[in-house]
Each structure stands twice: as C-alpha cells, then as structure tokens.
Amino acid sequence: MLVQSRLRGSVFCSSSRSFATTARRTNLPVVPLWINGQASTSSSGGSVTHKHPKSARETCEVIVAGEDETNQAILDSKRAFEDWRNVNGWERKGILQNVVQLLKDRKDTFTEALKADASFADIVIGGDQMSASHLVEGAANTAISVEGSIPQTKDDSFSMVLRQPYGPVLSIPAFNYPLTLALRSIAYPLACGNTVLLRASPLLPQFFGLLAPLFEDAGLPKGVLQTLNLSEKDAPARVEQLIAHRDVKMVNFTGSVRLGKILAAKCGEHLKPSVMELGGKSIAIVLPNADLKLAANNILFGAFFNSGQVCMSTEQVLVHSDIAAEFEEILKQTAEEAQWGEGMEMVRPDSGIGARAMYDDAVKGGAKPLYSASPSSTSSTTTSFPPTILTSLSPKTTLYREESFAPLLSLHTFDNIDKIIEYANSHSTGLSTSIFSQDFQESLELAKKLESGAVHVNGMTIHDQHNLPHGGWKNSGWGRFNGIGAIESFTQTKNIRFAKEAMLPIGAMYKGL
C-alpha cells in the first residue's frame, strides 16, 4: 500500500524505504521537516548528512530547522491548539487507535528505517514495537479519562474543577527504545488535548521522519504535531528558542541527568512546567531467601538488554553476604551459558570508547572482572563493548557514581539489610529497583524504604505499562507518564466557582481600625 506524502518527489511506502532520493546536492534520501502538515525540503537552517554510527556510511540528508522555521512551527502549533483543545476525548481516542493499526501495517517500514539509521538487535526492535502499540492503546484510553471534580464548599457556592491542556508542548524523547519513547512523548500530550512540537533525535533521522505522516494518516489535524530536525551546532540555540517562546507552554524530556539539569534550568528561567524522565543507576537487591537462578536470569537480562541502553537498566547488584559467594557463581555460570558474542553494539558514536574508559578506570581503581564475553575485554570498538560483570568497585570510580548506558554490571556485598538500604538510597538517582526474595512481607517493607519511582519484586528493573505511573525520584526527574500520571502531568486544573449571590458589607471594611 502506497501512502502519498507531502514530500516533493517521494512517497512513503509501508513495505520499502521511507524516503525516496530527490534531486539535491547528494543522491541520498532526504528527511524533511514537518510543519503544519507539510513536508519541507528547504530551510534557512540548511541540511546535514547523517552517518551510520557503526559503518560511518552516509545514509541520508537531513533538513534542519533554522530560527524562522522554528518560529513558524510554534505559530502553527498554537493555531492548531485552538481547535484541537476542543476535540472531544472520544475523537482523540479514535485517532490514537488508528495509529495503533497503522503501526502494525507499517512495522516493516519502521524496522527498515531504524536499521538504516543505527544498530539495533531484532529482539529490541520487536519488543519496542509491542511496547509502543501497548502504550498508544493506553494513551487512547487516557483521552477519555480526563476528568474534573465538583468539590463541596463551605459557603454553598458551586465549584467545578476542570482539567485542561497546557497548549503547545515541546517533546524531546530519547533514542534508545525509539518507537516507545517517541510515541510516549507524542501520544500522552495529544490524548490530553495539547499540541506537540517534536524534537527529532539526530541519531535516528529517517525513523523520526515517519512519525508525523503516521499521525496525519491516522486522522490527526494539520499542525497538531510538528517535527523539527536540529543540527548539532544549532540545537542549543533552537531548543532555548522553543523553551523561551511564550506560546510553548511546557517541556517534556526523556534523557540523561546531565541534559535534564540543563533543560530544567531553562524551564525554571522561563517558568515553564516540565516532565523530566531522566536516567538512573538501577539497583537489584538479592536477599538470602531469594531464588538465585531467577535472580541471576532477570538481573542479566535487565543489565544487558539493548546493550545496557535503557534508563531502567540494572547497573548494580546488592547481595547479602550470606549468599554472596553462591550467587556470584550462579551469576557467572548463567552469563557463560548465554554465549553472548564478544561485543554488544550501541547506538551513539564513540559509545564503546566511553564504556572502555569506564571499565579501565574501574579496574585501575581495584575492580575485578567476574565475567566478560571477551576474556581480555579487548574486543570493544568505537560503538561496541562486551557484556561485563565487575566486583570490588571503588567508590572513587566513575562507574560507581554514574550511569554507564553500556553493558557494564557491578556487584556489591553487604552483611545486613540496613546497609543495603543505606547504599541504595545514597545514590542521587531513583528510577527503578528490583528486590529478589521469597519473603513478601520483608520485600514490601524494604520497597517502602527505597527512594525509587518503581520497585519490582522478583522481576527485572526494566518494566513499563500504560496503566502504571512511570517516573523517577531525586535526580531521575519528576512528573509521570501513563494513565492518571499522564493526566496529572499534561493537564492543569482550573477552578470555576459560581458564587451564592449575596450583597457584601463594603461600608464596614475599615470601621474599627
């Protein structure tokens, strides 16, 4: 099935490459801007060439937004909001349900674009597509769940509390679980009646270029979703332009703590509300009565899925000393039985170099390798690193303090639960935690004490579904996605009060002073 696009000289196709070659300075596919329902292949910002991070091969030419195009997108988003805010929840639900169906129809197109942009394993792509469909289905239900209230009043007046959308929302999703995170950044604001200005990931331009046409074909009105590609050198100025603009009403960011702090500071400067879903250094706790084989299996999957490139990836294991030696042996044996290849590919250029630097710093600080898919840990490239487990990690090392976003896992031993809690809560982040124990009362009491947005008992740290609030504590951010959490994040309250008519004693206001 061919779906005509507004891109001059090209078509979107559900079974082939998304962007056809056009007559430009290169013979590469062209990824346009998407502003007010139009694919634009000209811009004051010019264009950049994307290279595949592993092969360094040029894959596409990306049209990037300049100051003028950014202002135009904001203006069109504001105009579209005036109508979209009044579209009822059932209509918004229907559009989002159409998105789910189109996702299934265009699954191969999204897969092809993703692989053209970067390196992703098939298990990651498949899981991402299932997760994304589940999430958009949930967002469709959220659209008909936005409700207000009628509180009681002491003066017999009638008050209603409405929940209303903010307006144009700047959404900046992460790249690592691309379809889920991109659609989450779009679908929940739309479900709540906002319009969206999508900042496309520069790491996945062809993939992100598919999103706005997908929503328009699902019935979304023009201008409700805009896609802006930004060049690396101009991105800080364009993002600041967006945040500072009076018509951009809030910011929705998923990414690293470092970038989150920069964006949060800008939001504070311009008094813009925000949702920040930032990184973590997720912990798995293994207690004496745990099923050790289950714990090893779930911890390894949670640590090395998508090469460790998940904000909820398991990065640290806190083991009770009573079972530490036995668990280390089971963990090592389970890893060896997995028979992983030597290097796991990552998306960002030079990510393998960063993982190598963290590993070398850890070993220099006294850490000991318990397991590595490469015996010498020398098989890393600029974009890959072997799955590795370390013990005896020093608090002075970078890996001890910072999220690796790589296939690196460390083990730490403690002789009582109080010390485990103290260590877990000493970290500045708190997104997701696991507890492995057969004592559910003990697990519940421990979970209550952990400073984490989610705690999973006998399950891995990576988990999300549309009816459970998702977000972090501490430096892992604020605001929530999914269900009620999304409604609270992407709408604001308005109190409308009908006073009980009464004449007020205006003449008595200053008597007796």
Positions marked catalytic: 277, 311
d(CA 340, CA 385): 12
Closest by CA position to 292, among listed 392, 403, 411, 400: 411
For 276-295, b where at least 16 C-beta lie within 10 A, e where not — what string?
A: bbbbbbbbbbbbbebebeeb
In one-letter notation, the amino acid at residue 214 is L
Residue with tokens 């979304």: 220
Q: Is 464 helix (H, G, I), strand (E, B) or coil?
A: coil
Give the residue ranges of DSSP H helices in 398-467.
398-401, 417-426, 440-449
Return the structure tokens found at 410.
């460390």
In one-letter notation, the amino acid at residue 251 is V
Give yes or no for a contact between 54 and 116, defined as CB atoms under 8 angstroms apart.
no
d(CA 79, CA 74): 9
For 339-374, b where at least 16 C-beta lie within 10 A, e where not — what string?
A: ebebbbbbbbbebbebbbebbebbbebebebbbbbb
Residue 303 CB neighbours (<10 A): 28
Residue 474 CB neighbours (<10 A): 18
Return the structure tokens found at 488.
């609270």
In one-letter notation, the amino acid at residue 76 is D
Q: Write out 134-192 in H/E/C secondary structure.
A: HHHHHHHHHHCCCCCECCCCCCCCEEEEEEEECCEEEEECCCCCHHHHHHHHHHHHHHC
Distance of CA 207 to the CA centre of its chain: 16
Return the structure tokens found at 391.
């013990």
